[in-house]
């Protein structure tokens, strides 16, 4: 029988909650920070993984950190819960009248 500890169950539960929030686009920037901090803490502290050999290479940790940073900077999509709750954000660049182009 597998040795299931409270740490393993907690990490797996947090991973499911974070994945669900990220999937539906709920609090995307905060969830991306949680993912990045979690990956950095696992890499630096050498914490035991809940599932062995899933992320035990440095390449996988760097990949998770880079993807979390990309999600943080890109934000949620158009059909996410964040867009429904807080509205879509548009960048409007004002037209500048250039006297040289007239």
Residues 60-79: tens digit of each pLDDT:
778 888 988 988 888 888 78
Q: For the whole model, what pTM was predicted?
A: 0.66
b/e map of 59-73 (b: 16 or more CB within 10 Å)?
A: eebeebbeebeebbe
Whole-angstrom distance, CA of residue 10 vs CA of residue 17: 11
Is pLDDT larger for residue 18 or for residue 99? 18
| Segment 15-31, tens digit of pLDDT | 889 889 888 889 888 99
């Amino acid at each position: 029988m597998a040795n299931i500890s409270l740490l393993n169950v907690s990490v797996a539960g947090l991973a499911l909650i974070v994945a669900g929030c990220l999937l539906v686009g709920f609090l995307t920037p905060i969830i991306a920070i949680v993912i990045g901090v979690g990956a950095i803490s696992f890499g630096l502290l050498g914490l035991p993984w809940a599932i062995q050999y899933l992320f035990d290479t440095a390449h996988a940790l760097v990949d998770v950190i880079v993807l979390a940073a990309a999600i943080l900077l890109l934000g949620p999509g158009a059909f996410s819960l964040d867009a429904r709750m807080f509205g879509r954000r548009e960048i409007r660049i004002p037209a500048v009248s250039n006297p040289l182009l007239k």
